[in-house]
Amino acid sequence: MSGSGVRGVEPSDRALERLREVVQWPDLAGTRYELVGEVARGGMGVVYRARDRELERDVALKVIALEAADGSTAERLRREARTIARLEHPGIVPVHDVGTLPDGRVFYAMKLVSGRRLDELLRSGLPLRERLRLLLRIAEPVAFAHAHGVIHRDLKPENVMVGPFGEVLVMDWGVAKDRDQPAAPGGSTPAEVPGATAHGTIVGTPAYMSPEQARGDVEHVDARSDVYALGAILYFMLVGRAPGPASASPDAVTRTWVGPRTGSPRLQPPREIDPELPRPLEAIGLKALAAEPAARYPGVAELSADVARFLEGEPVLAYPEGLAERALRLATRYRTPILLVLAYVVMRVALLLVARV
């Protein structure tokens, strides 16, 4: 077979680009998976698309980046897999398998998610009510997780996938805090909380991170930190960018505090950016984004309930209405019957006038 099939032509650019990825691929020999391609890169590792030969379906494999292949990261990946596996909910990506590759790296296999990332979907434009309904759907798996003692700690639009039928999947539970799986002895370090470092400067995407998380104040990070993140997502839905001061650019990614605990920079209220936004909605967002956890909604369910109330045309807890606003809201909500009754009254009066003539 000498010479057959061996070409002397230099590979095309496209082939070389792919080769660049191939060279980084993990070896899946001896496993039931056949590697197809790379899907995404995360903090802890890379997510690949692979074919499960046994079940004849494509799955997503999350593999530790070789760089971090020491013991503690492997254990963290396993814990992440176990945490997600425990949470069986349509909004939480299911875990199928966990194991070790031939080269020693830990991986877990999960459902291959198809759909659009929330931030892309929102940028493509959706009516406001649709966006709010989406938020309600995002809140469900988060509330479910909280009920099972798991806090996500890294909620942001990039971590939410929306399927073609509007179904929502919350991804990347890599830094979730699970009460059933306490961290390694020594407690979770600030480095395990997304983005926080020792010096008070923040890298990454802190815009969705609650102040207590950004400070690395691990003791005080609880379900309300996720409430903050959901509030930040709501803010993004209302205004088109992550919460931040007025000077923040539309693509603001970093935020720095100088020194610890000087308080969060002032958030620009949504109505400053878009005066057309309803006041109750702004109030909901700002309440969820309160710097003090105690000032926020006590849980995701309460936030959802308020948003649902807004959608139903009912008064919202975060926003005490004035009399005039209440009247307007009721008039909008009941406009059909009001119009009918008005028509009836006008009719009667008109008949009277006509008879008089």
Partner 1 sequence: MNKPLVGLIVGGVVGAFDGLSALVSAPEVAPQIATIVVGSTFKGVVVGLIAGFFARKVRSLALGIAVGLAAGLLFAYLVALSPDPATGKHYYWEIMLPGSLAGAIVGYATQRYGRRPDEARA
Partner 2 sequence: MAFPNTRRSLVLAVQSEDAQERARALEAVAVAYWRPVFRHLRFRFGARDEEAEDLAQGFFAAALEKGWLARYEPARGRFRSYLLACLQAYVANERRAGRRLKRGGGAATVPIDGVDADGEPSELPLAAATDLEAEFQREWVLGLLALAVRKLRERCAGTSRELALVLFERYDLEDCEPSERPRYQDLAREFDVPVTQVTNHLHWARQRLREILLETLRETTASEEEFRSEARALFGSEPS
**Contact flag: residue 136 with partner 2 (CB under 8 A):** no
Burial of 125 (0-12, 13-18, 19+ CB in 10 A): exposed
CB of 28 to partner 2, least distance (A): 8
**Pattern 312-341, partner 1, x by CB under 8 A:** ------------------------xx--xx
Locus of tokens 């814990």:
79
Between 198 and 341, CB nearer to partner 1: 341
Between 328 and 349, CB nearer to partner 1: 349
Residues that contact partner 1, how many (by CB under 8 A): 13
**Which backbone phi and psi does 222 adopt, to 5 degrees?**
-140, -160
Between 55 and 343, CB nearer to partner 1: 343
CB of 351 to partner 1, least distance (A): 4
Q: Are 87 and 148 in contact (CB under 8 A)?
A: yes
Residue 25 contact among partner 1, partner 2, none, beta carbon within 5 to 8 Å by kind: partner 2
Residue 36 contact among partner 1, partner 2, none, beta carbon within 5 to 8 Å by kind: partner 2
**Pattern 19-48, partner 2, x by CB under 8 A:** xx-xxxx-x-x----x-xx---x----x--
Structure tokens at 191: 């480095």
Between 67 and 292, CB nearer to partner 2: 67
CB of 352 to partner 1, least distance (A): 4
CB of 273 to partner 1, least distance (A): 35
Q: Which stretch binds partner 1 (CB under 8 A): 68-76, 125-133, 149-157, 348-356?
A: 348-356
Q: Which of 10, 56, 251, 276 binds partner 2 (CB under 8 A)?
A: 10
Q: Which of 55, 66, 295, 338 binds partner 2 (CB under 8 A)?
A: 66
306 counts as catalytic: no
47 DSSP β-pair partners = 40, 62
In whole angstroms, give the CA distance from residue 69 to residue 18.
Answer: 24
**Contact flag: residue 191 with partner 1 (CB under 8 A):** no
In whole angstroms, give the CA distance from residue 44 to residue 60.
Answer: 15
Residue from 97, 119, 154, 226 carrying the catalytic annotation: 154
Residues that contact partner 2, how many (by CB under 8 A): 34
**Contact flag: residue 357 with partner 1 (CB under 8 A):** no
Residue 253 contact among partner 2, partner 1, none, beta carbon within 5 to 8 Å by kind: none
Q: Which stretch binds partner 2 (CB under 8 A): 10-18, 112-120, 259-267, 332-340?
A: 10-18
**Contact flag: residue 29 with partner 1 (CB under 8 A):** no
Alpha-carbon distances of 298 from 100, 146, 170, 246, rounded to whole Å? 40, 12, 21, 28
Residues that bind partner 1 (CB under 8 A): 336-337, 340-341, 343-344, 347-349, 351-352, 354-355
Which residues form the catalytic set? 154
Residues that bind partner 2 (CB under 8 A): 1-8, 10-20, 22-25, 27, 29, 34, 36-37, 41, 46, 65-67, 69
